[in-house]
Every structure is written in C-alpha cells, then in structure tokens.
Structure 1
C-alpha cells in the first residue's frame, strides 16, 4: 500500500525505518496508553522485526505503514482484520515532535478513504484507552463516532482501564 497526501508519503514499513520508529516508541509518554511499554536499546530490534514480519491483512497479522515527512518517519498506522467480514481496526502512533500540525489527521483521512474506496472495507474501528483523549479527538476529527465506552474492561500495565470504541462506515466520510 502506498499513498501520497499533500505533505506526506505513506507506505509499508521498511528495514530502513528502524531508527525513526524507535524515536517514536522510546518515548514513555507516547507509550503511556499503548499495549506495550516504551522501547529501549535492548528490545528495539526485536520489536521492529516483529512489525516487519507481519505485513498482511490476514488473521493475527497487521499492515504496518510508515507516515513520512521529508524522508523522516513521523508516524505509524496499523491496520488489521477483526472477526467480521470486510471490517478492520486501525491503530496509530505519531512522534510527539510533530504534534499539533495536522499530520496525523491528514494521514488517517487518506488511509480511511483508501480502505473504503480501494479495499472495499465495510467498517473501520479504533479501540483505545479511554484516557487517551488526544486519540479520541483524532477519531472524531476524521469522522468516526464513539460507539462504546466500556468501564474497567481491559487489563493493561498492571491496572484495569476503561476503553472507547470508535467506528465509521463509508457513509461517514467527510
């Protein structure tokens, strides 16, 4: 998958992206609401290798996409099938150095449109820690609606957390 937006290039992760992806995931604050802890020098190669090994929309695999600005990977978007026909979940993480400039919105809108128009996806959803209000706001900005707020439903990093589920159909595109 390769997409070009006004300012970004979006393509499948490559070996050469390791250091830029590490720059995203080494940040404790960035990983606060993710399912994994921040990466470190000891585990970065193994973590990245796992991302590269799973590059298809098959069960238990994801497509991992690099969002590139001026030859620097500033974010990652992940897409994986869920157990429903023509439905996917998306996840995303962007380098905090590039926040508040609209890059995540631009990238996600392009991905969502491509999934609906080119891949004929019926439904896209995003699940997140309910404390991640920046992520929730991003979902709303691209036209997703909050469909659920589950209370203390997910055990992560030694605590029960609430979660939000956002969803959208092609008819929700702005």
Structure 2
C-alpha cells in the first residue's frame, strides 16, 4: 500500500526511516499506552527490522506504514487481520512534536478508505487503553464508533487497565 494525501506520503518503511521512527518510539509519553516499552539504543535495530519486514497485508502477514510529512516519518500505522472474516485491526503512533496539525486524522482516513476500497475489508477496529483519550478522539474524528468499554480487562505494564474497542464499516465513512 502506498498512498498520497494533500500533505502526506504513506508507504512501507525503508532503511532510511530508522532514526525518525526511533524518535517516536523512544519517547516514554508516546509509549505510555502502547503494549511495549520505549525502544532503546540496544533494541531499536531489532524493533525497526521487524517493522520494516511487515510489508504486505495478508491472512498471515501484517503491514506497517510510515507516514511522512516533508520527507520525515512522523507516524506509524500498523494493520493486521483478526480471526474474523474480512476484519482488520489498526494501531498507530505519531510523533508528539507533530500533534495539533491533523496529520494523524489525514493519514488514518486515507488508510481506512484504501482498506475498504482496495482490500475488500468488511470491518476495521482499533483496541486501546481507555486512558488514551487522544486515540479515542482520533478514532471518532475519522468516523469510528466506540462499541465497547471493558473494565480492567487487560494487564499492562504492572496494572489492570480498561480498554475501548472502536470500529467502523465502510458505510460509516464520512462523506
């Protein structure tokens, strides 16, 4: 998948993206609600290679996309199939230094439209830590609806956390 929007280029990761993506994932605040700890100098090459090798969306493969603004990677969108027919889950992280410019909304909107149009996806969902209000608002901005709020259902980083499930069908896309 390669997409262009008015301001962004969205494509699989390339070798030259390592430092930009490290800038995102080394940040404690960014990783607070993610399932993994911040990347370190010791493990960044391993994490990056795994992400760089996620180049196609299939039943047994996931896709990681770099979101670029002016040739700088400012975000990461990951997509993988769930066990349900024609259903994918999306996850994302964006460089906090680029928040407030609607880049995340622009990128995710383009990706979900492409998933429905080019991959014949029936349903797209996003699961998140319920404390991640910025992520919840982002899902709502692109047309997703909150379908569930699970109470203390996930053990993450030494504590029980609540989860939200957001989802959309093609008919939920804003005009």
The TM-score with structure 1 as length reference comes to 0.97
Give the match for residue 68 of structure 1. 68
**3-state DSSP of counterpart to 1:118:** helix
**3-state DSSP of counterpart to 1:153:** strand
Work out whether 1:83 is the aligned partner of 2:80: no
Give the match for residue 55 of structure 1. 55
Give the match for residue 46 of structure 1. 46
1:60 Cα deviation after fit = 5.4
Work out whether 1:167 is the aligned partner of 2:156: no
**3-state DSSP of counterpart to 1:57:** strand
**3-state DSSP of counterpart to 2:57:** coil
Count matched residues: 174
1:51 Cα deviation after fit = 1.2
Give the match for residue 157 of structure 1. 157
**3-state DSSP of counterpart to 1:6:** coil
Within 5 Å, give how 1:14-25 maps onto structure 2.
Answer: 14-25=14-25
Give the match for residue 98 of structure 2. 98
Q: RMSD of aligned C-alpha atoms?
A: 0.9
Work out whether 1:12 is the aligned partner of 2:12: yes
Contiguous gaps of at least 5 residues in structure 2: none
Give the match for residue 109 of structure 2. 109
Give the match for residue 140 of structure 2. 140
1:156 Cα deviation after fit = 1.0
Give the match for residue 126 of structure 2. 126
Contiguous gaps of at least 5 residues in structure 1: none
Of 58-67 and 8-17, more deviation after overlay is shown by 58-67
Following the alignment from structure 1 to structure 2, what is the Cα–Cα distance between the partners of residues 98 and 58? 30
